[in-house]
Amino acid sequence: MSTWLWPICLVSIGGFLGAISRYGLGTYMARRFPSAIPYGTLTINLLGCFLIGILMRYHAFDDWKLLIGTGFMGAFTTFSTMNLESVKQLRTGLWKAWMIYTMLSYTGGILLTFIGYYI
């Protein structure tokens, strides 16, 4: 396989798996835990932080970084969705839910990245 095609294949495969995983987990969490706090996106992003910490810790080879880091985690985690949901919370006056969601997303994400790195 061509040297330029291999990285594209790895990112594409990882992205496909990450996107369908995000959809499946997000849908499941929304049905299981309906709330003003979007637990699906929160869970996905926190799990992604934890997994990227593990990937960083073990200095994964370039192919693994492309497949899991860029491909899977790039499609699985979703900063833009988190921010869209935050704006929706603010526009509908759900200030408390917005504060909880934002704090859990950022502090939890940083904390779980460290935990993933140090386990």
Q: How far is CA 51 from CA 15, 56, 97, 111, in A?
A: 15, 9, 26, 12
CA dihedral 67, 69, 70, 74 (to 10 degrees): 120
* Rounded CA separation 86/97 (Å): 9
Consult the annotation and say whether 18 binds a ligand: no
User: Which tokens hold the place of 79?
Assistant: 């900063």
Consult the annotation and say whether 77 binds a ligand: yes
User: Which tokens hold the place of 108?
Assistant: 């939890």
* Rounded CA separation 115/19 (Å): 24
Binding residues for Na(+): 74, 77
Binding residues: 74, 77
